[in-house]
């Protein structure tokens, strides 16, 4: 199973719009996937004993989206030069052996600035490698994200679509 993770809990995020484009490419290629939007993480995850005792609602997230996944697609914005804290929080409170060990991942970075979250993708690569996940060499930075959509909200970067398709092919064959 493949799980696509939308790596922010910000409402109306540009990341969410990029995720929708990526999902449409997966569907076009007939690749089955599940989708976890970090806006849907349970609100009770952040508590003093969160590293020891996962809430029942978070256990349900693990069971539905993380444990059965063999491969992950992480699409995440650049917040203060890296990936969002909510994503690290999810990694930190997970049962890491069951959720992540010896799995595969591809990464897409999103930013309003020029960097396209390159640093965030590198940071996440380090963490995922620590979690024994193989990360694909093909990382896709999307900089100046609002300029990648026209006034009707259509994604206009054919170059990026091509990269999404390449990345999906790589993921399927990883």
Q: Which of 124, 126, 65 is nearest to 95 (CA)?
A: 65
| Token pair belonging to 47 | 């508590």
The footprint of ligand FMN on this chain (CB under 6 A) covers a number of residues equal to: 16
CB of 83 to ligand FMN, least distance (A): 10
Which of the stretches 11-19, 23-31, 46-54, 160-168 binds ligand FMN when contact is defined by CB under 6 A? 11-19
110 binds ligand FMN (CB under 6 A): yes
Closest residue to ligand FMN: CB criterion:
113
Q: Which stretch binds ligand FMN (CB under 6 A): 8-16, 26-34, 58-66, 157-165?
A: 8-16
SS3 sequence, the chain? CEEEEECCCCCCCHHHHHHHHHHHHHHHCCCCCEEEEHHHCCHHHCCCCCCCCCCHHHHHHHHHHHCCCCEEEEEEECECCECCHHHHHHHHHCCHHHHCCCCEEEEEEECCCCCCCHHHHHHHHHHHHHCCCEECCCCEEECCHHHHECCCCCECCHHHHHHHHHHHHHHHHC
Q: Per rule CB under 6 A, is residue 167 in the interface with ligand FMN?
A: no
Question: Residue from 3, 58, 65, 111 that binds ligand FMN (CB under 6 A)?
Answer: 111
- 81 scored as a contact of ligand FMN (CB under 6 A): yes
**Interacting residue with ligand FMN among 88, 112, 123, 174 (CB under 6 A):** 112
Residues 31-50 that bind ligand FMN (CB under 6 A): none
Please identify which residue in 113, 129, 132, 156 interacts with ligand FMN, judged by CB under 6 A.
113
- 85 touches ligand FMN by CB under 6 A: no
Estimate the crossing angle of helix 14-28 against helix 158-173, to 10 degrees.
60
Q: Note whether 157 binds ligand FMN by CB under 6 A.
A: no
What tokens appear for 115 in the block?
């960097």
Judged by the rule CB under 6 A, the positions of this chain that interact with ligand FMN are 8, 10, 13-15, 77-81, 110-113, 115, 145
């Amino acid at each position: 199973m493949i799980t696509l993770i939308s790596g922010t809990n910000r409402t109306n995020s540009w990341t969410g719009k990029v995720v929708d484009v990526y999902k449409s490419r997966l569907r076009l290629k007939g690749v089955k996937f599940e989708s976890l939007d970090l806006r849907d993480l349970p609100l009770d995850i952040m508590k003093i004993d969160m590293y020891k005792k996962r809430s029942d609602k978070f256990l349900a997230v693990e069971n539905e989206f993380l444990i059965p996944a063999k491969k992950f697609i992480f699409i995440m914005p650049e917040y203060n030069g890296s990936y969002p804290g909510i994503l690290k929080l999810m990694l930190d409170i997970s049962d890491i052996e069951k959720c992540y060990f010896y799995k595969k991942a591809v990464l897409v970075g999103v930013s309003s600035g020029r960097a396209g979250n390159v640093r965030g993708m590198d940071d996440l690569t380090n963490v995922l490698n620590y979690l024994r996940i193989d990360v694909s060499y093909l990382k896709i930075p999307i900089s100046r994200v609002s300029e990648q959509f026209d006034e009707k909200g259509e994604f206009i970067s054919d170059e990026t679509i091509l990269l999404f398709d390449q990345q999906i092919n790589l993921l399927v064959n990883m």
